[in-house]
Structure 1
Amino acid sequence: MALFIGGGAYTLPRAWQAKYPAARQVVVEIDPAVTAVAQAHFWFDPAGIELRHEDGRLALTRMPPDRRFDVIVGDAFHDFSAPPHLVTQEFAQLLHRRLAPGGFYAQNLIDSSEDPRFLYAFVATFRRVFGHVEVWVDLDQLGSGARSTFLVVAGDAASRRPQLASARHRWVIWPAEILNPRLAAADVPVLTDDFAPVGRLMPQWGHEACPLRSPS
Structure 2
Amino acid sequence: MSRRESRTRPGPSGPQAGKYPVRFGTAELQRDWDRDNAWLLSVDGVAQSYVDLDDPGHLEFDYVRRMGDVVDSLPPGPVEALHVGGGACTLPRYIAFTKPGSRQLVFDADDRLVELVREELELRSVAALKVRVCDGRDGVATRRDHSADLLVVDAYQRAEMPGGLATAEFLRDTARVLRPSGTLLVNISDGQGLKFAKRVMATVAAVYPHALLLADPGVLRGRRFGNLVLAASKHELPVETVARRAASAVFPARCVSGSELEKLFGRAEIFTDETPVVTPLPPDNALGL
The answer to whether TM tops 0.5 is: yes
Specify whether residues 61 and 180 from structure 1 end up closer, same or farther in structure 2 by C-alpha distance, changes over 3 A only.
Answer: closer
Residues 1:123 and 2:205 aligned together:
no
Per-residue deviation, 1:34? 1.4
1:80-91 to 2 correspondence within 5 Å?
80-91=159-170
Per-residue deviation, 1:37? 1.6
Specify whether residues 89 and 22 from structure 1 end up closer, same or farther in structure 2 by C-alpha distance, changes over 3 A only.
Answer: same
Residues 1:33 and 2:112 aligned together:
yes
Judge conservation of contact 1:140–1:169 (CA < 8 Å) in 2. no
Structure 1 unpaired stretches of 5+: 208-216
1:66-215 to 2 correspondence within 5 Å?
66=145, 68-112=147-191, 114-139=192-217, 146-156=224-234, 157-160=236-239, 161=241, 162-165=243-246, 168-174=250-256, 176=258, 178-184=260-266, 188-199=268-279, 202=280, 205=283
> Aligned residues: percent identity?
25
Match of 2:32 in 1: none
Per-residue deviation, 1:32? 2.0
Which one-letter code corresponds to 2:184 in the other structure? Y
1:3-51 CA-partner distances (Å, limit 9, x unpaired): 1111101111112222223111111111221122212333322552122
Question: 1:128 aligns to what SS in structure 2?
Answer: helix
Specify whether residues 145 and 125 from structure 1 end up closer, same or farther in structure 2 by C-alpha distance, changes over 3 A only.
Answer: closer
Per-residue deviation, 1:167? 5.6
Match of 2:28 in 1: none
Specify whether residues 78 and 175 from structure 1 end up closer, same or farther in structure 2 by C-alpha distance, changes over 3 A only.
Answer: same
- Aligned residues between the structures: 201
1:128-184 CA-partner distances (Å, limit 9, x unpaired): 111012111134766896211100111122324223246643233125555433422
Per-residue deviation, 1:91? 0.5
Which one-letter code corresponds to 2:151 in the other structure? I
Specify whether residues 123 and 145 from structure 1 end up closer, same or farther in structure 2 by C-alpha distance, changes over 3 A only.
Answer: closer
Judge conservation of contact 2:210–2:237 (CA < 8 Å) in 1. yes
Structure 2 unpaired stretches of 5+: 1-79
- Give the distance between the partners of 2:138 and 2:96, measured in 1 at CA: 25
Which structure has the higher relative contact order (CA within 8 Å, separation 6+)? 1
Q: What's the C-alpha RMSD, in Å, of the aligned pairs?
A: 2.7
Specify whether residues 25 and 128 from structure 1 end up closer, same or farther in structure 2 by C-alpha distance, changes over 3 A only.
Answer: same
Question: 1:170 aligns to what SS in structure 2?
Answer: coil
Judge conservation of contact 1:163–1:171 (CA < 8 Å) in 2. no
Q: 1:53 aligns with which of 122, 133, 137?
A: 133
1:6-21 to 2 correspondence within 5 Å?
6-21=85-100
Match of 1:212 in 2: none
- Give the distance between the partners of 1:44 and 1:3, measured in 2 at CA: 16
Q: 1:23 aligns with which of 96, 102, 109?
A: 102
Which one-letter code corresponds to 2:213 in the other structure? V
Write out the 4+ residue segments of structure 1 that deviate beyond 6 Å after TM superposition.
Answer: none
Specify whether residues 181 and 16 from structure 1 end up closer, same or farther in structure 2 by C-alpha distance, changes over 3 A only.
Answer: closer
Per-residue deviation, 1:80? 2.7
Q: Which has the larger radius of gyration?
A: 2
Specify whether residues 143 and 40 from structure 1 end up closer, same or farther in structure 2 by C-alpha distance, changes over 3 A only.
Answer: farther
